[in-house]
């Protein structure tokens, strides 16, 4: 089948690619562009490991055809740190031990970033519900939630 020309802006970098329509955004990011920070867990939208931010919204990239992301602005876990400085959410996951094996961490961090950007004033319970689409196989939820609350607090204070 014919490949389609696709322009993706990923973490600020333009990528002009020719891709098969059946390739998911997740596959394009990992296999074509080589950004393997975004993980493939269940590949059915249930686990949230593949979460990236597209035009400001957190989405499960395993459910998106890469061709439909053309022209959109995509942020992955690789795009969060700037000038060697970790994003407050990344730092919070380290400070609280909000990761164990690390596989779910990029998805949790990207989902959390979108939530905190949208509204850092959520209560603990609201953050729990809003992160319901992310699963941690190590069941490290307490520390993950601590990380998100710490980052939200820091972003509230600095804004």
Closest CA to 92 of 137, 42, 155: 155
From the list 5, 7, 18, 46, which residue makes contact with another protein (rule: CB under 8 A)?
46
Residue whose pair of structure tokens reads 């998911």 in the numeric block: 24
Q: Per CB under 8 A, which region of 10-18, 95-103, 111-119, 144-152 contacts another protein?
A: 111-119
Site residues (CB under 8 A) for another protein, limited to 130-149: 130, 132-134
In this structure, how many other beta carbons lie within 10 angstroms of the beta carbon of residue 107? 28
Indicate whether 112 belongs to the interface with another protein (CB under 8 A).
no
89/131 Cα distance (integer angstroms)? 14
**Token pair of 151 as six digits:** 């980052």
Indicate whether 21 belongs to the interface with another protein (CB under 8 A).
yes
127/106 Cα distance (integer angstroms)? 17
Please say whether the beta carbons of 19 and 65 come within 8 A.
no
Q: Per CB under 8 A, which region of 7-15, 43-51, 78-86, 136-144 contacts another protein?
A: 43-51
Q: Which is nearer to another protein, 72 or 91 (CB)?
A: 72
Binding mask 47-66 for another protein (x = CB under 8 A): -x--x-----xxxx-xxxx-
43/60 Cα distance (integer angstroms)? 9
Binding site for another protein (CB under 8 A): 1-2, 4, 20-22, 24, 43-46, 48, 51, 57-60, 62-65, 67-68, 111, 114-115, 129-130, 132-134
């Amino acid at each position: 089948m014919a490949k389609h020309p696709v322009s993706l802006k990923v973490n600020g970098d333009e990528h002009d690619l020719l891709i098969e329509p059946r390739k998911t955004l997740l596959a394009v990011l990992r296999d074509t562009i080589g950004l393997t920070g975004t993980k493939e867990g269940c590949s059915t939208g249930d686990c949230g490991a593949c979460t990236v931010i597209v035009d400001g919204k957190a989405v499960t990239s395993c459910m998106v055809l890469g061709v439909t992301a053309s022209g959109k602005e995509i942020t992955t876990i690789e795009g969060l740190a700037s000038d060697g400085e970790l994003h407050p959410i990344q730092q919070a996951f380290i400070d609280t031990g909000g990761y164990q094996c690390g596989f779910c961490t990029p998805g949790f961090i990207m989902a959390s970033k979108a939530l905190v950007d949208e509204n850092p004033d959520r209560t603990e319970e609201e953050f729990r519900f809003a992160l319901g689409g992310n699963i941690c196989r190590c069941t490290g939820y307490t520390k993950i939630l601590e990380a998100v609350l710490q980052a939200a607090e820091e972003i509230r204070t600095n804004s």
